[in-house]
Amino acid sequence: MNGTPIISAKNLTKKFGNFVANDNLNFDVYEGEIFGFIGANGAGKTTAVRILCGLSFPTSGAIKIAGFDVYKQTEKIKKQIGYMSQKFSLYDDLTVYENIRFYAKIYGMKTKEIKTKTEDLLNELNFAHARDKKIRDIPLGWKQKLAFSTAIFHNPKIVFLDEPTGGVDPITRRQFWDLIYKASDKGITIFVTTHYMDEAEYCDRVSIMDQGKIVALDTPVNLMKEYHSRNMDDVFIKIAR
Amino acid sequence: MRTILTIIQKEFIQIFRNKTMLPIIFIVPVVQLLVLVYAANLEMKSIDLVVIDNDISSVSSKLISKFKGSPFFKVRSSISLKDAENEMKKEDADVIMLIPQNFEKKLITENASEIQLLFNAINGTTASISNVYCRMIISGFNQDIILNSGNLYPELATFETINIENSYWYNPKLDYKIYMSSGILVILVTVISMFLSGINLVREKEIGTIEQINVTPIKKYHFIIGKLIPFLIIALFELAFGLVIAKLVFSLPILGSLWLLFGVAAIFLITTLGLGLFMSTIAQTQQQVMFIAFFFMLVFILMSGIFTPTESMPDWAQKVNYINPIAWFMRVIRMILLKGSGFAQIKKEILILTVYGISVLSMAVWRYRKTS
């Protein structure tokens, strides 16, 4: 990897009282990468993502996102990123189009552009017929694909995905990853957390977290070599035990 | 500006899609006005009076018939004080009137006589109102005796009696419903605005959509104002709807300018909406907001002078009322509707409400955190 990192975290630490959720995390993410944050539930993945998105302040550490400081320039960071949270976050009582339009307008996109882009998007997803359906009436897999498409609708530099595929079937997960690759092809940097180890193999590089610490950081292939494993599942079990 | 409009558009779509919202918007004002105005009536129509007439003379029966002729009393007689007291214990009697023996005789020989009145003062207000009504009837009876005694004491008859003519301004018939319904209108808009705005924002916290908003570059004041305006419009609509009902059902007079009324209402609503939003920036769940809002509303409403005039409250309560926006708006709405007061007369109130509005709203914007 070369060039300047688009995300750079040095000694990122977050404490809640005595509990250390993120313990001295150090990592860089480069432009165009698909960077995976792997770990069990409660390993501190979501805490770290929330800090990188400017939703929560770190206790200490130097963190820069797209060149902006997470302490002082959170609002500038927010213009550059997209975010899809673990908690499903489209409005249930709004239609597919109303949701897309709402967020796109908040990001300052023009109404005309929103209209044509929505049409293209829904055609590409084969979902044009559901344009005026309320979110609550569509299946979970579709909701997640839409949430992802909404998160990158305004063409952010980076998109943060916090366990985007929780609770969906393997086929839908595979389709979801196709969307991630498409976004990556367009040059969007992907930062994704997951506890599915097969998904870890889809990433360019992964960092494995355990109890608030990063215990390994490399490409999946290198990690599998290092730990003499045939898949990431084995790697994870060997590391985290 | 466009961001604010975007939020307003989204809120309105959600409000009109919500199947529990529309009934609330239309049914609450009807119920509050129709039920509360009649129920919270302080007029006394049927005071249960039990008379023990130990004299049984022409004067005593004249006095009793005076009471019987009054629309305020339901008169029954009893033989002994003990029976009467029992009735009072059962809440069947509000007042006991005891006419002693030799009532008439004393009046003629000593030129003065006495009767005893006993009031059920479990509710102090009703007791004192009953007292006033009784005194009015007895003093009227007194005057009759003095005038009729002219043949006995000619020098008395030449006295000019002073005739007091009362005229009640701004509510000539002393119609309690006019006073009440104007106050209920204030409660209506307060409750609607505070609950709706309070619940709305915290609901986004509960379902998690607030995170998605917080991760956008939206400005805090855009978000708060965008949340405030839809409910401001709904609350003003509620006021208009309530006014129409009050006008049709209670013939509530609307003497002042409606523009002025709605202008002041809008300023007042910024305070209550701002409070609702402020509370929901602190609270995590809808229950918490409901509890806090309920607490504030109960205190503010009861102290606002809807039932009892603020002037008769103790000193400290009047001071507390300085920070009670509902009390100020309660005054203003009655001044505009019932007296026809204009801008010049309510300048002070408008100024105070404006200060509240701005400070509460800034507090809400300040307290709303995009990053925790």
On the question of pLDDT at A39 being above 70, the answer is: yes
Closest among B266, B276, B255, B242 to B350, alpha carbons compared: B266
Which domains, ranges and CATH numbers included, belong to chain A?
Answer: 32-54+80-240 (3.40.50.300)
At A179, the pLDDT band (50, 70, 90 cuts) reads very high
CA distance A84 to chain B (A): 7
Segment A46-68 mean pLDDT: 92
Contact between chains at A107 and B217 (C-beta distance less than 8 A)? yes
Angle, vertex CA B136, rays to CA B133 and CA B141, nearest 5: 130
On the question of pLDDT at B155 being above 60, the answer is: no
Query: Which residues are CB-contacts of B41 (< 8 A; sequence separation ≥ 6)?
Result: B176, B177, B180
At B30, the pLDDT band (50, 70, 90 cuts) reads confident
Contact between chains at B14 and A106 (C-beta distance less than 8 A)? no
- Check if the beta carbon of residue A157 is closer than 8 Å to that of residue A81: yes
Q: Where are the alpha helices (DSSP H) in chain B?
A: 2-17, 21-31, 37-39, 58-69, 81-89, 103-110, 124-148, 154-157, 176-207, 209-214, 220-250, 258-282, 286-303, 315-320, 325-334, 347-367
On the question of pLDDT at B100 being above 70, the answer is: yes
Structure tokens given for B155: 């020098």
At A36, the pLDDT band (50, 70, 90 cuts) reads very high
State the Cα–Cα distance between residues A218 and A224, nearest whole angstrom: 10
* Helix, strand, or coil (residue B250): helix
Give B331-356 pLDDT, tens digit per residue: 999 999 998 899 999 999 999 999 99
CA distance B17 to chain A (A): 7
At B150, the pLDDT band (50, 70, 90 cuts) reads low
Average pLDDT, chain B: 87
Residue B243's identity, in one-letter code, is L
Which domains, ranges and CATH numbers included, belong to chain B?
Answer: 2-40+173-367 (no CATH), 47-157 (3.40.1710.10)
Higher pLDDT, residue B167 or A148 = A148
Question: According to the model, what pLDDT value does residue B145 have?
Answer: 78
Rounded (10°) CA dihedral A52, A58, A60, A63? 20
DSSP codes, A167-181: T--HHHHHHHHHHHH
Query: B284 in contact with A at a CB cutoff of 8 Å?
Result: no
- Check if the beta carbon of residue A135 is closer than 8 Å to that of residue A159: no
Q: Nearest by CB to A85, which of B9, B17, B212?
A: B212
Contact between chains at B208 and A98 (C-beta distance less than 8 A)? no
Interface test with B, best of A16, A47, A70, A106 (most B CBs within 10 A): A106
Question: According to the model, what pLDDT value does residue A235 have?
Answer: 86
Question: According to the model, what pLDDT value does residue B323 have?
Answer: 87
User: Does the complex come out with an ipTM higher than 0.85?
Assistant: yes
On the question of pLDDT at B175 being above 90, the answer is: no
State the Cα–Cα distance between residues B350 and B343, nearest whole angstrom: 9
At B140, the pLDDT band (50, 70, 90 cuts) reads confident
- Check if the beta carbon of residue A53 is closer than 8 Å to that of residue A213: no
Residues of A in contact with B372 (CB under 8 A): 55-57
At B171, the pLDDT band (50, 70, 90 cuts) reads confident
Contact between chains at A78 and B215 (C-beta distance less than 8 A)? yes
DSSP codes, B286-352: HHHHHHHHHHHHHHHHHHTTSSS-GGGS-HHHHHHGGG-HHHHHHHHHHIIIII---GGGGHHHHHH
Closest among B211, B183, B169 to A86, alpha carbons compared: B211
CA nearest to B371 within chain A: A55
Q: What is the largest CA-CA distance in chain A?
A: 54
Structure tokens given for A50: 């929330």
CA distance B28 to chain A (A): 24
Query: Which residues are CB-contacts of B211 (< 8 A; sequence separation ≥ 6)?
Result: A55, A83, A85, A87, A89
Q: Nearest by CB to B209, which of A78, A89, A105?
A: A89
State the Cα–Cα distance between residues B353 and B347, nearest whole angstrom: 10
CA distance B331 to chain A (A): 40
Residues of B in contact with A55 (CB under 8 A): 211, 214-215, 370-372
Q: Nearest by CB to A56, which of B2, B17, B372?
A: B372
Interface test with B, best of A79, A89, A100 (most B CBs within 10 A): A89
